[in-house]
Amino acid sequence: MTERRNWRRAIATGLRGLLVGLVVVIMGLPLYWVATGALKTNQEIYTFPPVWIPRQPQWGNFVEAWQAVPFGRFFVNSIVTTLGAVALELLFALLSAYALVFVRSRGKGLVFAVVIAALLVPGTVTLLPNYLTVARLGWINTYQGLIIPVAAVAFGVFLFRQHFLTLPRDLLDAARLDGCGHLGLLRHVVVPLSQPVIVTFLVIYLVAHWNDFLWPLVVTNRLEWRTVPVGVAYLYQVEGVQNWGPILAGTVMALVPMLLVYVVAQRWIVKGIGGGALKG
């Protein structure tokens, strides 16, 4: 009986390992193809059966991509808009969620219902009203035009509210007895206890804004105000379908910053998710 149970456990463990390996291959193969394609010649890219390892790595593809379009300017624009938008989103989400949980006032349930309703509205629905507002304010081709319309996020309010409800009330009451006001409570108690959730939020929205293509494409029409994703699409127009090496090299350069962010913050992400950060 014990031997049969051990066999079942070994088979279950083997199947789980096989499934995990399959998922890793499915998710990792496109990334591997892009990374190696950036170092291939066009002939190797079009060869069938595929060439999995470049015979002579074409590092010049990165230089050609960097010189074909102003990638330096694209990176500056992406860094400024991503950090600016995420900082404002974090501030607004923390303050709104704190008010919904810890500030006594009427109508909080209605406000939270509006936040939940906002989660159901697709971003494309607000695209035209946001563009008309930005154009009327004269913010086309400006950082404020890229940042301000995306600075409010309903999901962040929902995420932090749900987490704040789980914080130990005794600790919060003790801080109040020591004379802590709302800002002091938020700064010295709530934020330190919410670090995994905050890091999870930061990583999610850093990736979202770094990869955002539609809004920067709509709200800018001059090359010097384009961001990295729009710049990669512009690189495709410059190089055409006959020269995939530099295009894939540009794609790799666009991916590297967010991969580094994920590698640095993955411990906090796992901790945040495991601690219920993404539970409704």
The verdict on 23 and 84 lying in the same domain is: no
Is 60 exceeded by the pLDDT of residue 274? no
Q: What are phi and psi of 49, to 5 degrees?
A: -65, 155
Phi/psi at 203 (5° precision): -65, -45
The percent helix, strand, coil of the chain (3-state, each to 5) is 75, 0, 25
177 and 209 housed in the same domain = yes
On whether both 2 and 48 belong to a single domain, the answer is yes
12 and 106 housed in the same domain = no
In a domain, residue 29? The reply is yes
Q: 213 lies in which domain range?
A: 69-239
- Could you give the angle at which helices 228-239 and 71-102 cross, rounded to 10 degrees? 150
Our count of domains for the chain comes to 2
Residues 1 and 104 in one domain: no
> Over the stretch 124-158, which tens digit does the pLDDT of each residue have?
888 899 999 999 999 999 999 999 998 877 888 99
For residue 200, the model assigns a pLDDT of 85
Same domain, 99 and 76: yes
| 235-273: pLDDT as tens digits | 887 766 668 888 889 899 998 888 888 888 777 766 666
Whether 267 is covered by a domain: the verdict is no
Q: Has residue 253 been placed in a domain? A: no
| Long-range CB contacts (within 8 A, 24+) of 37-44 | 37/244, 37/245, 37/248, 38/62, 38/245, 38/248, 38/249, 38/251, 38/252, 39/245, 39/249, 40/245, 41/245, 42/242, 42/243, 42/244, 42/245
Is 79 found in the same domain as 145? yes
